[in-house]
Chain A
Amino acid sequence: MSTDVLTQELQQGFDCVYEKPDTLTDTRFHYCPGCGHGVAHRILMETIQELGIAEQTVGVAPVGCSVFAYHYMNIDMQEAAHGRACAVATGVKRVLPDRYVFTYQGDGDLAAIGTAETIHAVNRGENILIVFINNAIYGMTGGQMAPTTLAKMVTSTTPYGRETDWIGFPLKMTDLVAHLPGAYYVTRQAVHTPNAVRKAKKAIRNAFEYQKLNKGTCFVEIVSNCPSGWKMNPSDSNKWLEENMLPFYPLGDLKVPEKA
């Protein structure tokens, strides 16, 4: 049976329980099929809509696959040079302290070229939200190794797998920033299953609510996939994520505000 027929039959007596938020534009995502960036964009924008803060929020887009985030996010957005999103967000927040400010960055952007900006922004306790999409690879430029690439993981620049004895170990940025006094809320989430998506959305909501308190930086890592860079279909990439990424990047809160 075609969906159209079914739809017409059912419409009366039904409520819409899920639809695209107005905080996303009608522009189609350019992401590869099954890419976690789309889910991460959606839960971020849904949260902004649900909190009713679209008019008061400024986002900073990175360089990487999500460089066009400003085409999709229907709020005030600013593009930053590669890796500099936290520095740009610092400026925005200091000039407009009443706005909610977030950055959205991949692991190449945040954990390679932008390591310094990220660490210092958190260490200064900037009142911003940093959303960190960790797919363990440089997606946009062709699947090269990132600092976050797992040991033995095959990428286009580590065709025999990442050999840690001479290429170094995967960098846990989230664990690193959790130790900084400026960090207020640090958590690691994923978006590969319906339950993970629900939890990740809750974490983003917490982060926006904490931003009101002016107590420091909120850092939400989202362990994600890159079906194209990993050379897998979307379903296999999510299984691979579960079996390989999550043991090394376990989900959960790394730093939560102390209860008063």
Chain B
Amino acid sequence: MIKGYIEINKDICKGCELCIEACPQGSLRLSTHINTRGYRYVELVEQNCTGCTNCALVCPDVAITVFREQKPKKAV
């Protein structure tokens, strides 16, 4: 399984939860804390993220950056 992770800009996130629904791995949840705007923001809570970018594709506030493990270099 390819490994990935995301960074969520918690001050921009509005807690709309659309990314939570879009994540096929169930890696995200709403934090119990609130941000400077009073929204509960999203956190990556599981280690099973594959870096598929689904969450970032549906995020209306461009709050998510996605990283994916580099493919192992082919032996020559």
Contacts and interface: CB of A to CB of B under 8 A. Distances in A.
Interface residues of A, number: 39
Nearest to B13: A33
Given A14-B67, A18-B64, A39-B58, 17 more contacts: A14-B51, A15-B68, A17-B67, A17-B68, A18-B65, A19-B66, A29-B60, A33-B60, A34-B16, A34-B17, A38-B59, A38-B62, A39-B60, A193-B22, A193-B58, A194-B57, A234-B16
Interface of B: 3-8, 12, 14-18, 21-22, 39, 43-45, 47, 51, 53-54, 56-62, 64-70
B64 A10 contact: no
A19 B65 contact: yes
Nearest to A16: B67
A15 B3 CA distance: 11
Contacts of A233: 17
Interface string A159-195: 0000000000000000000000000000000011110
16 contacts: A3-B43, A10-B67, A15-B68, A18-B57, A19-B65, A32-B14, A34-B18, A34-B60, A38-B60, A39-B57, A39-B59, A194-B22, A194-B53, A227-B16, A234-B17, A235-B17
Given A14-B67, A235-B18, A235-B21, A198 B57 contact: yes
A224 to B, nearest CB: 10
A40 to B, nearest CB: 9
Contact of B44 (A3, A18, A29, A37): A3
B39 A1 contact: no
Contacts of B58: 39, 191-194, 197
A46 B60 CA distance: 13
Contacts of B6: 3
A21 to B, nearest CB: 8
Contacts of B18: 34, 234-235, 238
B15 A15 contact: no
A116 B16 CA distance: 36
Most buried by A among B16, B45, B51, B69: B16
Nearest to A45: B62
Contact of B3 (A10, A35, A37): A10
Contact of B5 (A7, A227, A238): A7
Contacts of B44: 3, 6
A14 B5 contact: yes
A2 interface: yes
Contact of A33 (B7, B39, B62): B39
A70 interface: no
A191 B61 CA distance: 13
Contacts of A19: 65-66
A3 B22 CA distance: 19
